[in-house]
Amino acid sequence: MSVKGKLYLIPTTLGDTGETSDVIPIKINSLVNLIDEYIVENEKSARHFLKKIGIKKSLNEIVLHPLNQHTLANEVKHYLDSIAIGKNIGLISEVGCPAIADPGEVIVKLAHKNNIQVIPLVGPSSILLALMASGMNGQNFTFNGYLPKERSERVSKIKELERLVKQKNQTQIFIETPYRNLHLIEDILSSCDTNSMICVASDITLPTEFIKTKSVQEWKKQLPDINKRPTIFIIGK
């Protein structure tokens, strides 16, 4: 009877960091050479990442299964089939950690359903790094993903999150598509109380990294330069 392979959750950098060893453990460099198949959000960027961390195998030998909004459910259910014959498979997020604010959760769920060992590997998570650097409550927090696109709904959601901060001392974390960052920060500053604390964390782990926590009143004096920059927003105490 053949030994089953494993599903490895492989974190990627949060942007062009220069040396990947600054944020990606060196163990992953050798591990990728034990894997023949990957499940990836974007094939081009996945190849770029594998090449950058020093994969020795030819990229032409590696099988890449796409996992994005165009992937059919009938395709996904066969992505882990090779594990039954002893092959290891890697799940790579577009940025950061797989299955965290990322479609990879469906693959991890499938692995558990089929009694496949799941091995998470250490790497950067912009959500946790922002929380660590915010000075806000790290024992009771919620990640809310993206807020509503429609402005009135978004403002209503921001006010709801601020209430949770005050009532439960629960830190509220969320993100936005980079080109809408300025609209979001303007809505936060116009909707929240002047003494509410807001952390803005952009380009985490990159040379242009910016992380600052200030009150709404202080932020109103000077808006952060976050247009089109990957950013985490946090409301807290």
| 45-103 pLDDT, tens digit each | 999 999 988 888 888 888 999 998 888 888 899 999 999 999 999 999 999 999 998 88
- Asked if 66 and 40 touch (Cβ cutoff 8 Å), the reply is yes
The verdict on 110 and 140 lying in the same domain is no
193 domain residue, yes or no: yes
Residue type, position 195, single letter: N
Identify the CATH number of the domain in which residue 42 sits.
3.40.1010.10
Is the domain of 151 the same as that of 222?
yes
Cα–Cα distance for residue pair 32/27, rounded to 1 Å: 9
pLDDT at residue 2, as a whole number: 61
Which residues pair with residue 211 across a beta bridge? 201
Tell me, yes or no, whether 2 lies in a domain.
no
Please say which residue of 89, 120, 151 terminates a domain: 120
Query: What letter represents residue 232's amino acid?
Result: I
Mean pLDDT, the chain, rounded, equals 93
pLDDT tens for residues 23-50? 888 889 888 888 989 999 999 999 999 9
- Domain contains 1: no
Range of 116's domain?
7-120
Same domain, 41 and 138: no
Tokens of 196: 């509410």
